[in-house]
Structures are given as structure tokens and as C-alpha cells.
Structure 1
């Protein structure tokens, strides 16, 4: 009787797997889904480790961001923004004495950055529909000063034609 149970157990596994093709297919797909994301994620990680991202500063993007906020000010109406800056994005390097430190990234060497310095704002011209109102001019000037770090003397708010 025990021999019959052993044969039945062996036959049970093979027969059930062959009979339940759907279960076998689902099991195979499950295993594949588990393995595929891990291998893809590792490749992605390797490529990003070797590349040091540089923070993007574009004057047009900053003007657009400021324009969107200024147009929300009550009474401002349509708004156009022109910002001026001095210089460009500067990269400050990690230095040890007189030598620049480097790190190995995927077999290559790259400079270790401490931080990036964005260009300094030197002035702003804002043209808007509501510039006839002293209150609107004041609020726009304050917002521009807060956004850029400029003084009110460096900000011109002019009525739109």
C-alpha cells in the first residue's frame, strides 16, 4: 500500500502539472515578471551612477516661472518678464589642498562637485496690464525681489501697451 502511495505521489505531481497547463503558464509568467524588473533596474542604476547630473539653470525657464506667479497677482493682468543675469552656472569643485579630488565611476574618473552656483540676477523688467495701479506695481516689485534677491531699485514695472 505504501508503494502505491509513492507512485500516486509521483504521478500526482507530473499529471497535475500537465493537466493544469494554465497554472504552469501563470507560474512561468510570475517567475519572469519577478526576474525582469530586477535585471532592468540594475542596468539603469549602473548608467546613472556613472553620470553626475548637472543642475539645469535656464534663464527662460526662470522667467516663465516668475511670469506664471506674477500673472496670479490681483489686477496684474497679462505679464511679460525679462530678467538679466551676470555670468553663468559655476561649478565649485571639491579640493584637498591643491589637488582636485576624483572618484571612479564605472572605470572612469570624474570630478567631485561640492555645489553649483547659479548666475546672479542684475535686473528685472516687468511689463503688465495692471502697472497703472501703484498697489499692483508694489506687489509685483515685492514678488520679483523675493524671487530674485534683487532690490526694488533693480526692478522696473511698466504698463503694457
Structure 2
């Protein structure tokens, strides 16, 4: 029924309907980790970074917003064809996001944005997915503003700790040589 990945359609619903940029990041990051080669410059990473940039901008973290917007733009410029394959009007979107980066640099107040589409197929699928009721959309602005503070991070912290333990095993020991 859907030719676009459901996490991408979820991303679009969260992005456009309730502007839950944090959840945009969550659904695409999971997809990127599980279903791709995890390339750091994939179109998925660009979309994740764009959403997180907007989340930071809304919260007033202009430094974080600027850093991620710049990274996202580099990916978008490199991956124009992939943006187009996702139904996005890549030229307009890149121009729009370039303008957003300039607004962030100038300290302009946050406003929501939309992703411009060039392919009505993605719009139809996104709308159909929205109407299916598969997602629950939070509308409390205070919750959306501070979502990162109230989520359960136990799995993330456990994975970081495991990764740190594994890296420590790979590092050569720095013990001084034994005295002969």
C-alpha cells in the first residue's frame, strides 16, 4: 500500500501536523540504525539533523540549531536526488533551509516550517497514513518544547555504557612495564 517507508511517513506526520521535531528525530534515527548502512551523510541523517535543528531553534539553543542546520544542508546539497526520490522539492527545500540557517544566525524567533513536495504520491501516502490513526499526536506545546527532558533514556544510557565498555576492551593497556 505504501511505497515510502512508514518511518518516513511518520516523520512527515510529526513534522507537519504537530511540529514534534523531537519525535521526527526518534522515528528516523531508529529506521536509519535498523534499515540502512548507517552512513553518516545519508539523506536520513540530513532529515534527522534538520528536525533536531528546528527543535533546538524552538527552544532557543541557537548554537545547536546552527550547527545541525549547517550539517543538514551539506547533506541535502550532496543528496538532492535522494530528496527528490522521497517526493521532496529538493531545490526549494534547500533554499528554504538555507534561509532558516540565516534566520538562526541572526537570532530570529522560531517559526514552524513545512517541507515542500514535488511528488503528489508522497503527499497522498502521508495523508492516508495520517488518517489511518496509526500515530498519536501530542499537542501540548510545553511537552513538545521539553520532550527530551521527560523521555525514558534508560535504553540509550545502557547502550552508551555497553559501547564504552567495549571500547575500553579494545584500547591497549597503559600499564608501565614490569621491572626486570
The alignment's TM-score, normalised by the length of structure 2, stands at 0.19
1 or 2 for the larger relative contact order (CA 8 Å, sep ≥6)?
2
Identify, as 1 or 2, the structure richer in helix. Answer: 2
By percentage of residues, which structure has more strand?
A: 1
Q: Which has the larger radius of gyration?
A: 1
